[in-house]
Amino acid sequence: MEKELINFIRNKFSTEEFIPLHAPTFIGNEKKYLENCIDSTFVSSVGEYVSLFEEKLSAITQTKKSVAVVNGTSALQVGLRLVGVRTGDEVITQALTFVATANAIAYNNAHPIFLDVDINTMGLSPDAVSIFLEEYGDLRNDGFCYNKKTGRRISACMPMHTFGFPVHLDELIFVCNKWRIPIVEDAAESLGSEYKGKPTGGFGEVSAISFNGNKIITCGGGGALVTNSVTLGEKAKFLTTTAKVPHLYEYVHNELGYNFRMPNLNAALACAQLENLNYFLENKRELAKNYQEFFQSKGIFFRAETENTKANYWLMCVELNDKKERDLFLKNTNSSGVMTRPIWQLMFRLPMYKDCYKDEQVNALFLEERIVNVPSSVR
């Protein structure tokens, strides 16, 4: 099967060379905007491409405010702080995720609570969250939810849309509202994905998106916070630009801020990339369709978008029957110059998160042994 697959992929990407998992595509105004940016001399923390990019991104995600930052991880870190996560709190997330999700929690000196994912979406399971909160949740008079066992406040829930497949947002929002826990969406991978006709990123109090080199749209390195709360949006801008209070000439900083602002040079690239997002989405959808037909004919489960959602097909993947099959698949493809990768190791396996709370992880353990990403670039 792998031989046929390798031929199929080489044919799709029209090359006999090495095929990466996800390479960026520059076919639009990238050079023009970069040149404009350099000619203007505003390449750094001031310049018009940053606000232009933020406006475009808000239009695409249908959110009231976007704030461009240096990467997706910093967006997550600040997002948690914006919804009120403080030292010693707990934050609910999934164990099946990229390490940045958990790191953003740790950067806020909070404790991750690793819950299971849904078997269909591969993202945080609303049932797992509900079961956890029914057992440990304690809604106190101060309006916050506490963990009965540890006594710590549970101050946020951070679902992640794995590979661009949206989580069950309605159900998750219902559970989190019940327990008065704000949601910070890790939409790092899901720009262009939709849940019930609405773009991901617009469901959380705040959400984080990444524009790293391997994401669907890149600006070299970069990220953004998006939100429907103008107050939180303004606070995000303030905190990510050193918390500087406007003054004619004095340097006034009234709380601990960050230098997380996206440079204008990166924003120029991002503006050009965003112009092609729809084309990228269609192009990837076509490849996903081709993969699905191919794998179906081989009796292999290619993961397609789930009910009520539209996936951006950022990274496409198959589910193999067991770990042995998976390892063989990885070995044969990678040794033939076709890059494939297993899904991430579960977060509680990493030394810094080994003592964190985790539930039974039935689905995450199943997926960890079986999911493999296949080359997914725009062609």
Ligand X SMILES: *Cc1c(COP(=O)(O)O)cnc(C)c1O
One of 108, 130, 193, 212 touching ligand X (CB under 6 A): 212
Which single residue brings its beta carbon nearest to ligand X? 72
Q: Which helix (H) or strand (E) holds 66?
A: strand 65-69
3-state SS class at 224: strand
Judged by CB, which is closer to ligand X: 34, or 216? Answer: 216
Going from the C-alpha of 364 to that of each of 171, 238, 344, the distances in angstroms are 19, 37, 10
Residues numbered 133-162 forming contacts with ligand X, rule: CB under 6 A: 160
224 φ, ψ (degrees, to nearest 5): -155, 150
Residues numbered 171-200 forming contacts with ligand X, rule: CB under 6 A: 186, 188-189
One of 98, 146, 203, 280 touching ligand X (CB under 6 A): 98
356 near ligand X, rule: CB under 6 A: no
One of 93, 121, 130, 210 touching ligand X (CB under 6 A): 210
The stretch among 45-53, 97-105, 137-145, 195-203 that binds ligand X (CB under 6 A) is 97-105
Picking from 334, 335, 304, 309, the residue whose alpha carbon sits closest to that of residue 319 is 304
Size of site (CB under 6 A) for ligand X: 15
Q: Around Cβ 46, how many Cβ atoms within 10 Å? A: 11
CB of 208 to ligand X, least distance (A): 7
What DSSP assignment string belongs to 111-160? EEEEEPBPTTTSSB-HHHHHHHHHHHEEE-TTS-EEETTT--BEEEEE-B
Binding mask 32-51 for ligand X (x = CB under 6 A): --------------------
Going from the C-alpha of 34 to that of each of 27, 30, 221, 271, 274, the distances in angstroms are 13, 6, 15, 10, 14
Q: Is 215 a catalytic residue?
A: yes
One of 126, 182, 192, 223 touching ligand X (CB under 6 A): 223
Q: CA end-to-end span of the chain, whole Å?
A: 23
373 near ligand X, rule: CB under 6 A: no
101 near ligand X, rule: CB under 6 A: yes
Residues numbered 65-94 forming contacts with ligand X, rule: CB under 6 A: 71-73, 76
376 near ligand X, rule: CB under 6 A: no
CB of 212 to ligand X, least distance (A): 4
Of 65, 215, 284, 310, the active-site residue reads 215
Contact residues for 319 (Cβ-Cβ < 8 A; gap 6+): 300, 301, 303, 367, 370, 371
HSE (CB half, 13 Å, CA atoms) of 26? 15
Residues annotated as catalytic (active site), given as ranges: 215
The residues binding ligand X (CB under 6 A) are 71-73, 76, 97-98, 100-101, 160, 186, 188-189, 210, 212, 223
